[in-house]
Amino acid sequence: MTDTTAILKSFALGSAVGVALQVSAAANVHFSDRALTVLACGAVGLVIGAVTEWLTSLLPIRIARTAVYFLINNLIAVVVSAVVTAVLVASASANVLDRSGLMSVLLVIAIICVANLGDFLLYRRAQRRLHAVQATLAVATAGDPEQNGGLPGG
């Protein structure tokens, strides 16, 4: 089963990539064209997110540790995003290996890596808070005789 939240985050990330690419491009383009480009980048991000989540779901369960999952997911996202960006740059009749094409691909890779690192850090923060709440609840229920069958101390 794929994570639809991650796929929707990919749309937002794709839109952010579109904005970053629009800011980095010094072209004189109408606002409506720029907005369509950002939405198209969001749609491409949606597709990349779906492919990434699908490929991640094919991984064996034995590697289901958090850090390994985030690392593999990031690698899949970077590779898929780099390939899609290179294809889109090449289809726009630009050379992928020239400075602007290469900078576009590198910008996308950097944004994807930073976003995945941020996602991992937020996950770790949520886990630490969860463990703190669980510890607080364990201490609170240890001192409550009703929770321990009416006997003090368990």
Give the pLDDT band (50/70/90) at residue 147.
low
In a domain? residue 64: yes
In a domain, 115, yes or no: yes
72 lies in which domain range? 4-142
The answer to whether residue 147 is domain-embedded is: no
Determine, yes or no, domain membership for 132. yes
Length of the chain: 154
Query: Residue 35 carries which DSSP code?
Result: H
pLDDT at 83: 85
pLDDT tens by residue, 10-21: 888 888 888 887
Q: Please check whether residue 128 lies inside any domain of the structure.
A: yes
pTM: 0.72
Q: What is the pLDDT of residues 67-116, one digit of tens each?
A: 888 888 888 888 888 888 888 777 776 666 677 778 888 888 898 889 88
Q: Return the amino acid letter for 96.
A: V
**Of the listed ranges 18-22, 27-31, 42-46, 104-108, the one predicted with least confidence:** 27-31
Q: Is residue 154 part of a domain?
A: no
Q: Are 96 and 89 in contact (CB under 8 A)?
A: yes
Number of domains making up the chain? 1
Enumerate helices (H) and strands (E) in the chain, giving the number of each: 4, 0
Q: Give a yes or no: residue 152 inside a domain.
A: no
151 vs 31, more confident: 31
